[in-house]
Amino acid sequence: MNFENIRKNFPVTDEVIFFDHARVAPLPERLRKVVTAFVDDATDFGTVHYETWMLELECTRKKFAQLINADMDEVAFIKNTSEGISIVANGFDWQPGDNVVIPDIEFPANVYPWWNLKQRGVETRMVKSIEGRVLFDDLAKQVDDRTRILSISSVECNSGFRSDLNRIGAFCREKGVLFFVDAIQSLGVLPMDVKKDYIDFLSADGHKWMLSVEGLGGFYISKEVIDRIRPVTMGWGNVVNAENFMNYDFTLKKDAKKFEEGTPNTMSIHAFGAALGLLLEAGIDNIENRVMNLGDCIIAELNRRNIKIYSSTISEERSGNVSFTLKKNVDLLYSFMMENKVKLTVRDGLVRLSPHFYNNEDEILKVFDLLDGFLKK
């Protein structure tokens, strides 16, 4: 793969070194062209081409399904990861005394929807992590005959720890526990197969590794369990005869579209489709290999300076995120790097670097040259 040609799709490279895809990604040029074309069309012609817009929505649905190895009728559009998690948390038939199991280092999107169930008598069991790692045995110990759902991130946001989804999914299937994956820190950079990994639900918005806009993402619900989740947000779009407006018929759709309650975010879905197309053309396996190689370079530079790496360096536990600690004030490092046109994340005392497949080794070396200068100050 010619990464230099791919790099031309990202004008951000002319302005900054961007190592912050685990937060909010810059947009590729292809996406700008698609959004501009949509705006021009809507401005010049109104809704004359509305049917064409809707066809593009279904093309995007197909691309997201392809990315995770799902069927199209198992995919719904959502505004963010939190919405997807809330669909399941609020739509499941909980009974007092039930419990859900989650790690204690999850991003709040995968915490608060479950905590909100306390008023319904549902316990949230927080599995203690060890230095950013979530061990399978510790997860398994928290599961009992009242566990209904186990929810985990495919990649933990701060540590970059990659969960063994296949092992966890197989365990959940054996125990009769539903398996939810918050995939926002892996989709677009790591392979995902919801069938192979026994995943019942998956949620991720597109503004990180999938290189799309904020406010739009994908939700997967296996057709095997779709009847167990009741839509709690209702509108005209949930029903089978959605466009026969005045013929009221409260028969819900049978597929994942029953969770799309109203008018879609058409322009953002077009943008999402453009970004997914770029990723699929490049190939997720190729992207993973490229990003892991960049991670190797980052880890080597950190080791050369005896800097403590917080992320796991075990190959099967690694992701696109590499986090480390410094003895100096990391908030000052963030300001210093911004002044020198480097975008990274500083959070919870950690420095996190998250390059994507269009970044290169020269950028990594420049960042570490800057880090050397900062540490000497």
Residue with tokens 């928290």: 142
3-state secondary structure of 107: coil
Distance CA 160, CA 162 (A): 6
Same domain, 180 and 329: no
Same domain, 118 and 246: yes
Q: What is the CATH number of the domain that holds 171?
A: 3.40.640.10
Output the pLDDT for position 377. 81
Same domain, 265 and 318: no
Using CA atoms, how far residue 50 sits from 82, 146, 150, 242, in Å, is 29, 48, 40, 16
Output the pLDDT for position 261. 97
Distance CA 179, CA 170 (A): 9
Domain assignment present for residue 24? The answer is no
Domain assignment present for residue 25? The answer is no
Domain assignment present for residue 26? The answer is no
Same domain, 312 and 198: no
Domain assignment present for residue 27? The answer is no
Structural domains of the chain, count: 2
Under 8 Å CB-to-CB from 111, ≥6 apart: which residues?
A: 102, 124
Output the pLDDT for position 1. 77
β-strand partners of 78: 217
Same domain, 251 and 327: no
**Around Cβ 144, how many Cβ atoms within 10 Å?**
11
Q: String of b and e for 173-205 (b: at least 16 CB within 10 Å)?
A: eeeebbbbbbbbbbbbbbebebeebbbbbbbbb
pLDDT, tens digit, 9 for 90 and up, residues 183-220: 999 999 999 999 999 999 999 999 999 999 999 999 99
Would you state the structure tokens that stand for residue 190, as one six-digit string? 């790591």
The pTM of the full predicted model, rounded to 2 decimals, is 0.97
Same domain, 224 and 305: no
Same domain, 41 and 73: yes
Tens digit of pLDDT per residue, the chain (377 long)? 788 889 999 999 999 999 999 999 999 999 999 999 999 999 999 999 999 999 999 999 999 999 999 999 999 999 999 999 999 999 999 999 999 999 999 999 999 999 999 999 999 999 999 999 999 999 999 999 999 999 999 999 999 999 999 999 999 999 999 999 999 999 999 999 999 999 999 999 999 999 999 999 999 999 999 999 999 999 999 999 999 999 999 999 999 999 999 999 999 999 999 999 999 999 999 999 999 999 999 999 999 999 999 999 999 999 999 999 999 999 999 999 999 999 999 999 999 999 999 999 999 999 999 999 999 98
Output the pLDDT for position 3. 81
Output the pLDDT for position 37. 98
Answer with the one of 263, 281, 299 that is the final residue of a domain.
Answer: 281
Same domain, 243 and 295: no
Same domain, 272 and 220: yes
Output the pLDDT for position 11. 97
Same domain, 306 and 193: no
Domain assignment present for residue 28? The answer is no
Output the pLDDT for position 369. 98
Same domain, 15 and 50: no
Q: What is the CATH number of the domain that holds 345?
A: 3.90.1150.10
Answer with the one of 281, 298, 328 that is the final residue of a domain.
Answer: 281
Output the pLDDT for position 292. 98
Domain assignment present for residue 253? The answer is yes
Distance CA 285, CA 104 (A): 30
Domain assignment present for residue 295? The answer is yes
Q: In what side-by-side order are the strands of the sheet with 123-127?
A: 75-78, 217-221, 201-205, 178-182, 147-153, 99-103, 123-127
Output the pLDDT for position 341. 98
Answer with the one of 249, 281, 313 that is the final residue of a domain.
Answer: 281
Same domain, 268 and 334: no
Q: Domain limits at 185?
A: 33-281
* Phi, psi (rounded to 5 degrees) for 115: -60, -35
